[in-house]
């Protein structure tokens, strides 16, 4: 049954994740849903999910997608997720996938070939993304020897950006690190979900799960301060691609950086618009360079 593996791994009395159901989508010609969830668990990774046949096909991408066509990113095929999962953002306090889930990108995807099942069997799925951060032509290609199977050992794929106007040497994960749903970072999601945890930074939890969760909280705080440190510098250093590395990046104001409360809605929207403008200007810079 679809989603059996997904449900087997989770205790929905303990996890806020949706139990979901496989859903038929109306054939109305609209694009299919896709999302990327940034998941701070025992290891930070990005989960790429593509709607197909009433579920979300899912790959865990440890380093996240790269816009550089020369970079092949490992993508581990994992269990199908329910469609409802595509909107999920929040804290999984314990159990499978314990950590913080951020909705990092969402939009629609279009397979190049009509027969997605055949493309998966073949291990070569070409598609176009129309998301907020990820756009243009991509391919998921299965590594040699692996087969199309849910779970199991044969699940290594590579996620590769095709060369097009949306490709380029921008580190998209660093360039646009925040949620497309709440516009916050992991620490914001944590504080929204459980303000007490954030205030004390020290949840009164014991045992292994509690220790892991503390590590994750520390990591969330550390990631925020690292980002603040970076945006305080006027330029990025040390990259071999010096010209393009100077692409504009979203900057946070001093006030925003020092802010520890959740910003007002209007400020959040402003910040998002700024980062969208920055992404657009990266594109125009690239066009001018041609």
Distance of CA 57 to the CA centre of its chain: 14
The least distance separating Mn ion from the CB of residue 46, rounded to whole angstroms, comes to: 8
Distance, in Å, from the CA atom of 6 to the CA atom of 18, rounded to the nearest integer, reads: 10
| Site size with Mn ion, rule: CB under 5 A | 2
Closest CA to 153 of 77, 96, 80: 77
- Of 44 and 187, the one with the shorter C-beta distance to Mn ion is 44
Under rule CB under 5 A, which residues in 10-69 are in contact with Mn ion?
Answer: 39, 47
| 79 touching Mn ion, by CB under 5 A | no
The least distance separating Mn ion from the CB of residue 239, rounded to whole angstroms, comes to: 29
End-to-end C-alpha distance for the chain, whole angstroms: 51
- Of 97 and 136, the one with the shorter C-beta distance to Mn ion is 97
Identify the burial level of 59 via C-beta atoms within 10 angstroms of its C-beta, where 0-12 means exposed, 13-18 middle and 19 or more buried.
buried
- Of 39 and 142, the one with the shorter C-beta distance to Mn ion is 39
The least distance separating Mn ion from the CB of residue 101, rounded to whole angstroms, comes to: 7
The least distance separating Mn ion from the CB of residue 77, rounded to whole angstroms, comes to: 12
Distance, in Å, from the CA atom of 279 to the CA atom of 272, rounded to the nearest integer, reads: 11
- Of 35 and 119, the one with the shorter C-beta distance to Mn ion is 35
| 80 touching Mn ion, by CB under 5 A | no
The least distance separating Mn ion from the CB of residue 99, rounded to whole angstroms, comes to: 8
- Of 39 and 52, the one with the shorter C-beta distance to Mn ion is 39
Burial 249-282 (b: 16+ CB within 10 A, else e): bbbbeeeeeeeeebbeeeebeebbeebeebbeeb
Closest CA to 174 of 227, 222, 122, 248: 227
Under rule CB under 5 A, which residues in 100-159 are in contact with Mn ion?
Answer: none
The least distance separating Mn ion from the CB of residue 271, rounded to whole angstroms, comes to: 26
Compute the chain's Rg from CA coordinates: 19
- Of 39 and 181, the one with the shorter C-beta distance to Mn ion is 39
Binding residues for Mn ion, rule: CB under 5 A, are 39, 47
């Amino acid at each position: 049954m679809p989603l059996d593996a997904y449900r087997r791994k989770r205790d929905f009395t303990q996890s806020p994740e949706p139990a979901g159901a496989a859903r038929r989508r109306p054939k109305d010609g609209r694009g299919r849903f896709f999302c990327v969830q940034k998941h701070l668990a025992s290891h930070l990774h990005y989960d790429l999910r593509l709607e197909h046949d009433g579920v979300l096909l899912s790959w865990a991408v440890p380093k996240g997608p790269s816009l550089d066509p020369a970079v092949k990113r490992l993508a581990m095929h994992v269990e199908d997720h329910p469609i409802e999962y595509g909107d999920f953002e929040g804290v999984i306090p314990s159990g499978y996938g314990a950590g913080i889930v951020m909705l990092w990108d969402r939009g629609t995807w279009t397979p190049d070939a009509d027969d997605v099942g055949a493309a998966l069997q073949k291990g070569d799925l070409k598609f176009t993304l129309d998301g907020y951060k990820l756009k243009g032509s991509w391919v998921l290609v299965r590594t040699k020897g692996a087969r199309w199977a849910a779970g199991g050992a044969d699940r290594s794929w590579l996620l590769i950006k095709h060369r097009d106007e949306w490709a380029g040497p921008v580190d998209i994960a660093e360039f646009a690190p925040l949620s497309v749903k709440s516009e916050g970072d992991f620490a914001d999601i944590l504080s929204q979900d459980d303000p007490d945890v954030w205030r004390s930074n020290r949840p009164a939890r014991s045992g292994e799960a509690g220790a892991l969760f503390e590590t994750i909280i520390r990591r969330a705080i550390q990631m925020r301060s690292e980002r603040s440190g970076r945006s305080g510098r006027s330029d990025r250093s040390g990259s071999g691609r010096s010209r393009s590395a100077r692409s504009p990046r979203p900057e946070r104001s001093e006030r925003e950086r020092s802010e520890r409360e959740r910003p007002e809605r209007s400020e959040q929207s402003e910040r998002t618009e700024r980062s969208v403008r920055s992404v657009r200007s990266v594109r125009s810079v690239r066009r001018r360079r041609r």
